Structure 1
Amino acid sequence: MLVLKNATAVQFEPAMVQQHIDIVIDGDMIKAVGPNLAAQYPQAEIKDMRGKLVMPGIVCSHNHFYSGLARGVIANIAPSPDFISILKNLWWRMDCALDEEAVYYSGLICSLEAIKSGCTSVIDHHASPNYIKGSLATLRKGFIKAGLRGMTCYEVTDRNGGAKEMQAGVLENIEFAQLIDSHKAKADEPYLVEAHIGAHAPFTVTNDGLSMMSEAMQVTGRGLHIHVAEDRYDVTHSHHHYSQDIVERLDSFGLINSKTLLAHGLFLSDKDAQILNERDGFLAHNARSNMNNNVGYNQLLSRFNNVVLGTDGIGADMFEELKFAFFKHRDAGGPLWPDSFMKNLFNGNQVLARNFGAKFGQLAAGYKADLTILDYVSPTPLLADNLAGHMAFGINSGNVDSVVVEGRFVYEGRQFPFDIAPIYAEAAKVAKRVWQNMDNLD
């Protein structure tokens, strides 16, 4: 039993700020929340929060851990005047340069940095065409080592090896979901990692691939995670080759449901939005990535019922992502205020709930003890009514003091429970080799 004493309890949805609160944690669950509870649990370990903000854990709802070794990449990258060129010249060379060791270190580094930024969960989307089989289990090792909750999947695509590559990607997704099911049956292991059935994007998956993915979803009970309409080319390709809107095409194969996670969606049609809403699926908004790739802005975010926030591989700092999402929206003349984007950040907990079969996102009995702890001190009142304003204009990842996942401190007092210096040193060596591999692909 653990009691976090004298916390400032903060919650996004419904918005809440309460001072002098004790949070009682029993195993991986919150047992009780309220004032002066510590005395009721004399045998519990007591940690005095000294007024620090304690909130439900932050979720990054779309990321690419395989980009973990791309920071400052030095390689012969040709000029890339459009989105497809960026994919071909950078990312599709980067993922082809990854092997087992590189996948492990990219995943572990990204897991550590996510925790350091205040995340308790990350929903990942993976690609390593020359190391498909076993790649997701390798990523899982990084999640477990760091103590991060999350999900991952392999992006099914035909861009390198046609039907054979699609089959290998689908099989990796199925085998990983089965691996997760086997681990869930072991009571002595933490249940930290779940699975999606992943795909790159509709323009690199044929109808045969979609059919295989539909069967995989039925066999495993998992949902789809895929990029859609990140660039207009995806929409044009769907109309040209299949005479369908993108989500309409996916839905015709039974791929859209309440576990579906579509990333980007800048150019989806009204029909697409209606289908996603009717199926109660999610759209992941990635403001910084969209800006970086110059693909445009999603002017109609408000038409989607379930919007979540992700980074698309630009780290896992969700405090920064929320700010960019709001500021870019305002720059584009949008009508939404910070509270809408705080709700989007909260919605990542709903993705977790539907996949882990547990409750996330509130400081209440019966919810998972995934918590982000901040030492934010404000010169102005912090209230439920202005919490979103503090998120947009004040609170940042530099305030992250500690992170609790599954009831256990995985980061405390700005320190990990193990030495991370050797990990970073080895990752730097692996990164240099990956960059060299990229040039050797030419």
Structure 2
Amino acid sequence: MLILTNATAVQLDPPLVQEGVDIAIEGALIKEVGVGLAAKYPQAETRNMQGKWVMPGIVCAHNHFYSGLSRGIMANIAPCPDFISTLKNLWWRLDRALDEESLYYSGLICSLEAIKSGCTAVIDHHASPNFIAGSLKTLRSGFIKAGLRGMTCYETTDRNGGNHELLAGVEENVAFANLIDAAKAAGKEPYLVEAHIGAHAPFTVSDAGLEMLKGAIQSTGRGLHIHAAEDRYDVSHSHDKYGKDLMVRLAEYGLIGSKTLVAHGLYLSAADIELINQHDAFLVHNARSNMNNHVGYNHQLAQYRNLVLGTDGIGADMFEELKFAFFKHRDAGGSLWPDSFARFLSNGNQLLARNFGAQFGRLAAGYKADLTICDYSSPTPLVAQNVPGHLAFGMGASSVNSVMVEGRMVYQNGEFPFDVEPIYAEARKAAAQLWKRMDALK
């Protein structure tokens, strides 16, 4: 047993601030939260938090670990005057250039940097059309090496190879879900990684693809993870080709459920939103990505029953993401305050609970010991009601001191338990080769 003593216990939802608390951890779970636990459990190891924030882990609910080696990219990128040309000229060339080595280092670097930013879990959405079979297993190895909890899936699409590519994507999703089931049954390693069934977006998945995805969801018991209405083109395409709103089309194939994660949703109709809410699905808002791609602003955030925050591949600094999400909302004339965005951030733990079959997101007995520990000295009184204000206007990822996942410190006092510089060195080599392969693609 490990006891974190003298902690400032902080929860976002329901709001909580309690100073001088001890948190007893046994295995992967919180055993007890209270005062004087070190005396109650004299044989336990203790670590004095010295008043640091100890809070339930932070979740990035939508990311693209395949983009980890794109920072400062030096490939020849044609002008990108709109969203579709950005996809074609940059991201769809990068994903086609990925091989096993570059994907491994991309995923591992992203996992390390997510932890360093305070994340205990990341929900990933992957694409590598020339390395499909085995790609999710490669990403999983990076999660496990870093000690990060997460989910991943392959974004099924027909944008490169028609039905052959659709089938390969679905097969990779199913194979990975089966691998996860087998690993759970064997019980030889921590249960850190789960599976969604992935799809790129409605405009690159035919009805035949949706039928395949339906079968994959039914056979594996997993939920769909898909982009939708990130740009107006997705909506126009659906109306033109199928005569239907996006979620209506997906719902006809039984693809919306309580484990479904829809990314972006800027231009979803009222009927689409109602379908998402009726099926208890999640919408993930990616403020910085939307701004970067100049696709517009989602004015309908308050209409969703379940809303979470993600980055869409722009790192995993969720402190920064929360700030941008709130400030952009205010700039767009929105009426929500920081408490709403703190709740959206906390909601990522609901996604984990539904998919891992465990309790996440609270400092209470029986909940997973996935914890973010921050060294933050407040210049003003800190109480439950103003924690969101401290998040929006004060602290950031630089406050992160330690991160615990599954009851194990994967980042402590600003250091990883292993030397990461050789990993970064190899990543730099892999990135240079990746960029060369991009330039060789048409």
Counterpart for residue 438 of structure 2 = 438
2:399 counterpart of 1:392 = no
Aligned 1:41-52 pairs, distance under 5 A = 41-52=41-52
Counterpart for residue 162 of structure 1 = 162
Aligned 1:126-145 pairs, distance under 5 A = 126-145=126-145
* CA deviation after TM superposition for structure 1 residue 329, in Å: 0.1
Distance in 2 of aligned mates of 1:357 and 1:178: 17
Counterpart for residue 302 of structure 1 = 302
Aligned 1:304-383 pairs, distance under 5 A = 304-383=304-383
Instruction: Spell out structure 1 runs of 4+ moving beyond 6 A.
Output: none
Distance in 2 of aligned mates of 1:188 and 1:248: 42
Amino acid aligned to 1:54: V
User: Per-residue displacement from partner, 1:231-258 (whole Å, max 9, x unpaired)?
Assistant: 0000000000000000000000000000
* CA deviation after TM superposition for structure 1 residue 206, in Å: 0.0
Counterpart for residue 210 of structure 2 = 210
* CA deviation after TM superposition for structure 1 residue 38, in Å: 1.1
User: Per-residue displacement from partner, 1:308-366 (whole Å, max 9, x unpaired)?
Assistant: 00000000000000000000000000000000000000110000000000000000000
Distance in 2 of aligned mates of 1:123 and 1:65: 9
Counterpart for residue 232 of structure 2 = 232
Aligned 1:160-309 pairs, distance under 5 A = 160-309=160-309
* CA deviation after TM superposition for structure 1 residue 214, in Å: 0.3
Amino acid aligned to 2:390: H
Q: Please state whether the residue corresponding to 1:266 is helix, strand or coil.
A: coil
Counterpart for residue 80 of structure 2 = 80
In structure 1, runs of 5+ residues without a counterpart are none
Amino acid aligned to 1:325: A
Distance in 2 of aligned mates of 1:249 and 1:416: 45
TM-score, L = length of structure 2 = 1.00
* CA deviation after TM superposition for structure 1 residue 272, in Å: 0.2
Q: Please state whether the residue corresponding to 1:47 is helix, strand or coil.
A: strand
Amino acid aligned to 1:352: L
Distance in 1 of aligned mates of 2:330 and 2:91: 30
Distance in 2 of aligned mates of 1:257 and 1:188: 31
* CA deviation after TM superposition for structure 1 residue 286, in Å: 0.1
Distance in 1 of aligned mates of 2:158 and 2:215: 17
Amino acid aligned to 1:162: G
User: Per-residue displacement from partner, 1:152-208 (whole Å, max 9, x unpaired)?
Assistant: 000000010010000000000000000000000122310000000000000000000
Q: Please state whether the residue corresponding to 1:185 is helix, strand or coil.
A: helix
* CA deviation after TM superposition for structure 1 residue 436, in Å: 0.5
User: Per-residue displacement from partner, 1:91-115 (whole Å, max 9, x unpaired)?
Assistant: 0000000000011000000000000
Amino acid aligned to 2:30: I
Distance in 2 of aligned mates of 1:173 and 1:105: 21
Distance in 1 of aligned mates of 2:70 and 2:188: 36
Q: Please state whether the residue corresponding to 1:365 is helix, strand or coil.
A: coil
Counterpart for residue 412 of structure 1 = 412
Amino acid aligned to 1:433: Q
Q: Please state whether the residue corresponding to 2:186 is helix, strand or coil.
A: coil
Distance in 1 of aligned mates of 2:377 and 2:386: 15
Q: Please state whether the residue corresponding to 2:62 is helix, strand or coil.
A: strand
Distance in 2 of aligned mates of 1:256 and 1:378: 42
In structure 2, runs of 5+ residues without a counterpart are none
Amino acid aligned to 1:320: E
* CA deviation after TM superposition for structure 1 residue 35, in Å: 1.2
Q: Please state whether the residue corresponding to 1:240 is helix, strand or coil.
A: helix
Counterpart for residue 108 of structure 1 = 108
Distance in 1 of aligned mates of 2:283 and 2:395: 25
Distance in 2 of aligned mates of 1:380 and 1:116: 26
User: Per-residue displacement from partner, 1:27-53 (whole Å, max 9, x unpaired)?
Assistant: 000000011111111111100000000
The alignment yields a C-alpha RMSD, in angstroms, of 0.4
Amino acid aligned to 2:87: L
TM-score, L = length of structure 1 = 1.00
* CA deviation after TM superposition for structure 1 residue 145, in Å: 0.1
Counterpart for residue 422 of structure 2 = 422
Q: Please state whether the residue corresponding to 1:19 is helix, strand or coil.
A: strand
Distance in 1 of aligned mates of 2:295 and 2:89: 16
Between the two proteins, what is the percent identity of the paired residues?
A: 70
2:149 counterpart of 1:149 = yes
Distance in 2 of aligned mates of 1:288 and 1:187: 39
Distance in 2 of aligned mates of 1:367 and 1:191: 15
Q: Please state whether the residue corresponding to 2:289 is helix, strand or coil.
A: helix
